[in-house]
Amino acid sequence: MKKGILGLIAVAVVATGAIIGFSQVRTAKDGKTFTGMKHGRGGHGMGMGIDLRGLDLTADQQAKVKAIFEASREAMKPLMADMKANHQKLADLNKTVFDEGATRQLANEQAAIMANMIVERERAKSQVWGVLTDAQKAKASELRSVKRERRMMNKVEKTEATTPQQ
């Protein structure tokens, strides 16, 4: 009985923390407000996968890259809308009874949308890569390797910190 009550209290505390986290309104540097626990810079967003900081882009390169990103963003908007609509259809579909056929169809539609998003993101990356000089490409590759190595070291450290000592 006491274990059940303690478990219920623990669940209530965790749920309250999650509700508070999701209800927070935050303001980004550009003045836009957003709510909930969002992924910040370098999080799980749909970024281009190219870190241009430290490459000393010329004004002309910056303008070209900005145009590429804006065009890609515009191309992604209908895909994102389709993905959101599919998520809603999936949520509505299985509220009562599980329908495997319909669920599988929506999953396949979602996979096709994601494939198109990947193609668009890679197209933009390729266009940005074409704007860079050979020296900038080399530096970008080096920075990517350093970042990947740092990320791996962080994963190792986290694993070692969470692994019980024997």
DSSP string, 102-153: HHHHHHHHHHHHHHHHHHHHHHHHHHHHHHS-HHHHHHHHHHHHHHHHHHHH
Whether 43 is in a domain gets the answer no
Number of domains in the chain: 2
pLDDT at 39: 47
pLDDT at 44: 42
Residues 80 and 148 grouped into a single domain: yes
Tokens of 77: 């908007």
Give the integer Cα–Cα distance in Å for 52 and 45: 16
CB-based burial label for 58 (10 Å; 0-12, 13-18, 19+): exposed
The pLDDT of residue 94 is 76
Shared-domain flag, residues 54 and 12: no
Asked if residue 156 and residue 105 are part of one domain, the reply reads: yes
- pLDDT over 60 at 18, yes or no: no
pLDDT-derived band of residue 25, with 50, 70 and 90 as boundaries?
A: low
Residues 71 and 14 in one domain: no
Is residue 41 assigned to a domain? Answer: no
pLDDT band at 35 (very low <50, low <70, confident <90, very high): low
Of 99 and 5, the structure prediction assigns the larger pLDDT to 99
Q: Is the same domain home to 110 and 85? A: yes
Tell me which residue of 106, 80, 84 sits closest to 94, measured CA to CA.
106
**Virtual torsion, Cα 70, 144, 59, 48, nearest 10 deg:** 0
- The answer to whether position 42 is within a domain reads no
pTM to 2 decimal places = 0.60
The angle at the Cα of 28, spanning 121 to 117, to the nearest 5 degrees, equals: 15
* Domain co-membership, 137 together with 59: yes
Same domain, 88 and 112: yes
Mean pLDDT rounded to a whole number for the chain: 79
Contact 108, 31 (CB under 8 A): no
The answer on 52 and 16 residing in a single domain is: no
**Residues near 39 by beta carbon (within 8 Å), at least 6 away in sequence:** 45
Most confident option among 26-30, 53-57, 100-104: 100-104
121 and 99 co-located in one domain:
yes
Whole-angstrom distance, CA of residue 150 vs CA of residue 147: 5
**Residue percentage of the chain with pLDDT more than 90:** 42
Residue 4 structural domain:
1-35
Structure tokens at 29: 């540097």
132 belongs to a structural domain: yes
Would you say residue 109 has pLDDT above 70?
A: yes
CA within 13 Å, CB half, 79: 18
Same domain, 77 and 8: no
Same domain, 68 and 31: no
> Do 120 and 79 sit in the same domain of this protein?
yes
**Tokens matching residue 138:** 């080399």
